[in-house]
Structure 1
C-alpha cells in the first residue's frame, strides 16, 4: 500500500495553492474597486471564483487519492469527483458566458457598457445551475454502483 504524498502530488498541490491565491486577488480587486462593479467584471469574477474552487477541489482530490481512496464511502467518492466536475464545468461555462456576452454586445454595436446586469446574472446563474446538475448526477443516482459489469470503465471507481 502507498502511504503519504508523492512528489508529483506535492508539486500539484503547490500549483493549486498558487491558483487559489491568484484568484483570491482577482476577486478582492473586483470587490474593492468601484469601477469594476460592472457586468463584464462580474463574468471575470465568476471565472475567478470557479477557478478558485477548481484549485480547492483538485487539492482535496489529491489529498483524498491513492490509499485514502479505499477508505472513502461511495457518497464521499462521488462528492470528491463531483466537486471537480462542478468547478471545472463552471469554469468552462464561465468562458462560454463571456463569449456569449461579448457576442451580444458586438451585435448591438455598443463598445462600452453594452451589457446589462440582469442578463449577466442570468448567464452566471445558468453556468452554476448546469454545473451543479452535471456534478451532482452521480450522487443523485446516475452511477454504476448496482451494475458495475455493465458500465464503462472510463473513470475507474478507485484510482
Structure 2
C-alpha cells in the first residue's frame, strides 16, 4: 500500500502546496481508483502523518520548503535524511512530519513504511492568501506527474 500525504497551510499561499497536491490527487483517484494507493491531506498536523502512514509499505510526503532556493524548485529527498525525533514538548504543535517519520518508525516498527520519499517544493510567497505563485503551480504539475508515474497511476 502506498500512502501519499500532503502537508501545509492553505492560508499561507505557497505553504499550502502539499495540501494542493494531495487534493488534486484525491480528485484524480476518485475518477481513476487504485486499491493500493491512499491520499491524505494532513494540513499542519504532524501527528496525523504518523497515524495515516501506519500499515503502508511506501510513503510519499509533499510539503513546501523555504531554503532560499529558486521558487518552484522541487527536491526529492529520502525520508531517512529528514527524519528526526521530536524534543520533549508540552504541545503537539511542535510535532511536524519529520518527527512523525522518526516516531512512527520507533513506535510502529514493522507496521510503518520503510520506503519514504519527501517532495519539497520551494516557496516564493508564504504570506497570507490562498493562491499559489506561478513557479509553485508549475512545480505542482511536475510533482503530480512524477507521483502518478511512480505509483503507476498513469500520466495526469
Shorter-chain TM range is under 0.3
Higher relative contact order (CA 8 A, sep 6+): 2
Q: TM-score, normalised by structure 2?
A: 0.27
Rg larger in 1 or in 2?
1
User: Which structure has more helix as a fraction of its residues?
Assistant: 1
